[in-house]
Amino acid sequence: MHGLRLLVGCAGLALAVPACSAPTGAEPQTPTGPVTLSIVGTNDLHGAILPANGRGGLALLGGYLANLRAARRLDGAVVLVDAGDMWQGTIESNLNEGAVVVSAYDLLGYVAAAVGNHEFDFGPVGPAATPMAPADDPRGALKQRASESGFPFLAANVIDTTTGRPMAWPNIRPSTTLDVAGVTVGILGLTTRATLGATIAANTAGLAIAPLAAAARGEAERLRADGAEVVIIAAHAGGNCRDTTQPSDVSSCDADSEVFQLARALPPGLVDVIVAGHTHAALAHEINGMAIVESFSRGRAFGRVDLVVDPATGQKTAVRLHRPHDVCEFVDAAGGCLDPGTARPGDRATYEGQPVVPLPEVEEVLAPAIAKVAELKATELGVVVDRRVPVRGRVESALGNFFVDAMLAVAPGADVAINNTDGGLRADLPAGPLTYGRLFEVFPFDNRLVRLRMPAGDLKRVLRAHIRQSSRLLGVAGLRVEASCRGTSLTIGLSRPSGQAVADAESLEVATTDFLAIGPLFAGVVAAGGPEIPADAPVVRDAIADWLRVRGGRIDPATLVGGPPRFPARERLPIRCN
């Protein structure tokens, strides 16, 4: 179980299927009139290769793409692009470091993908998520996946600080150009400015993130100068809108979101389409003449923009912007997804006038990875969850509290455990017998358990800086954190469960993850580069799984919240005393 990796790549599958780089669907023909390019965007798959309750799954997405390609066969083509965070997040993907996702994406016909922050998570090739030896390449797994891929990974604003230029590794580059139905299409990649703080810092050492707009403008101008008639940005940077019914109406949107800032900063006409990501939200909007799509996460939907191009002049004569389309196998009368267990044959979803059927060749590519982890995923941990334990809560997180309680239990002698509830925990814990697979979905990261020794005053400084700057909830066990304003000063108090205050000079042992210990949270109180992590430091998830087997019993979310809060309320964060 611990550190298991199953490496599968396209070249090693030996299946009777088309070449991994060959797109599914009917072969296109050269259009004789205006060319319609259907630009399909996906984002933040996070390894979700399988459907959940009749929604999502790469084989089912392939069915939608096959129908769309058939519809475009005579008048254009499909351009399939991903906005990053492709593989981190499920046991089927993580245990082969994303190889199964790349193999399936090749078969589906992706032409480019942005490098997202979580593309760096696996670190070196093999079980260690961070370099454990001088010879370990902290970007080894990312480079390995790119070398196996039939499509390029794009990142125009991830800068190698030794050269001052965008990272340039085999099949990883700023942009790509391709001929699509006689139209020259340029695609460039960007990643969020938050990337370096949203993955393990050790894996991004020596990299910097350039401003998105400046990088995009320079690369897009180069693509245009080289003859690109259509320019697309695959941006692992997004936004959030409550309403996607009217592309021109952004009143429901966060106007300051990263992708909107990017679009407003670019000259009109330079970029045609932005496929966005990172925020796991929905976009189908036009900003500054650019069509922007983002389609939630985990493969539940895809975005689409149809560009009609005059092949004689290269001019765009029409733009049709589609709302995110749910990937459903069966639908009800309103178009909502149905659970396959309750659906009838007549409820099968249609797209472009034809029934949507999961592609068997994609299912075959996925099958080895699914079979390899099936037994591990189903392993019961001897604990029953009485009711769903949610990640989010109005004040505190029941799941966040449970997780740090478990971290404290597996770190004997520690005074306090701290974890990033927001971002670190990725799914609710469902009711019923707890399995390793369900625990994995909650915490898919191979972060190791780290112990830090520091005076309580230093921990207060860490927490004060976080509470001032961030709206993200931290899970805390062993101590209670209080924050209050005294004039313009933010005061942090620490107390034990008994109510006894903790003095600044008191020495505390903090149990946390390597992600937090190496990253910006503790940067002011640990040595530069973070603490030394022992080679035998346990993976947090696996240590908790072992503890649960011994603990047994039941988990009731009602016992995990209530009483004095452990951390300032989510609804108050950040706290600024001005």
Residue 4 predicted with pLDDT over 50: no
* Residue 69 placed within a domain: yes
- What span, in angstroms and rounded, lies between the C-alpha atoms of 82 and 255? 23
184 and 52 in a common domain: yes
Task: Please enumerate in sequence order all residues whose Cβ is within 8 A of that of 455, keeping only pairs 6 or more positions apart, or say none.
Answer: 504, 505, 506, 507, 508
* Residue 74 placed within a domain: yes
CA proximity to 211, closest of 232, 186, 237: 237
245 and 115 in a common domain: yes
* Residue 375 placed within a domain: no
Res 535: pLDDT: 82
Please write the tens of the pLDDT for every residue from 364-391. 999 999 999 999 999 999 999 999 999 9
- Could you tell me the CATH number of the domain that includes residue 511? 3.90.780.10
Bridge partners for 241 per DSSP: 253
Averaged pLDDT for residues 38-62: 96
Bridge partners for 290 per DSSP: 287
528 and 492 in a common domain: yes
Task: Tell me if 140 sits within 8 A of 148, measured CB to CB.
Answer: no
A 10 A CB-CB count for 407 gives: 25
Res 134: pLDDT: 86
Res 2: pLDDT: 38
DSSP category for residue 533 = -
Task: Tell me if 10 sits within 8 A of 287, measured CB to CB.
Answer: no
- What span, in angstroms and rounded, lies between the C-alpha atoms of 233 and 114? 9
* Residue 30 placed within a domain: no
Q: Name the residue type at position 514.
A: D
* Residue 538 placed within a domain: yes
**Considering 310, 338, 369, which residue would you say is the last residue of a domain?**
369
Res 531: pLDDT: 86
Phi, psi of 456 (to 5 degrees): -60, -30
Please write the tens of the pLDDT for every residue from 541-568. 999 999 999 999 999 999 998 888 999 9
Please write the tens of the pLDDT for every residue from 162-205. 999 999 999 999 999 999 999 999 999 999 999 999 999 999 99
Res 25: pLDDT: 55
393 and 365 in a common domain: no
486 and 340 in a common domain: no
Domain coverage including residue 525 = 382-572
Retrieve residue 290's tokens: 């650019």
Q: How far apart are the two ends of the chain, measured CA to CA in Å?
A: 50
193 and 122 in a common domain: yes
Averaged pLDDT for residues 128-145: 92
391 and 363 in a common domain: no
Retrieve residue 453's tokens: 């020794």
427 and 348 in a common domain: no
- What span, in angstroms and rounded, lies between the C-alpha atoms of 52 and 337? 11
- What span, in angstroms and rounded, lies between the C-alpha atoms of 239 and 253? 8
**Considering 336, 369, 402, which residue would you say is the last residue of a domain?**
369
Please write the tens of the pLDDT for every residue from 265-283. 999 999 999 999 999 999 9
Lowest mean pLDDT among 92-101, 265-274, 354-363, 534-543: 534-543
Q: How confident is the model at residue 132 (pLDDT cuts 50, 70, 90)?
A: confident
- How many structural domains is the chain composed of? 2
194 and 49 in a common domain: yes
Retrieve residue 184's tokens: 């020259």
Res 23: pLDDT: 57
**Considering 345, 369, 393, which residue would you say is the last residue of a domain?**
369
Whether the model pTM is above 0.85? yes
H or E element in which residue 45 lies: none
* Residue 355 placed within a domain: yes
- Could you tell me the CATH number of the domain that includes residue 155? 3.60.21.10
Please write the tens of the pLDDT for every residue from 13-47. 333 333 333 455 555 667 778 999 999 999 999 99
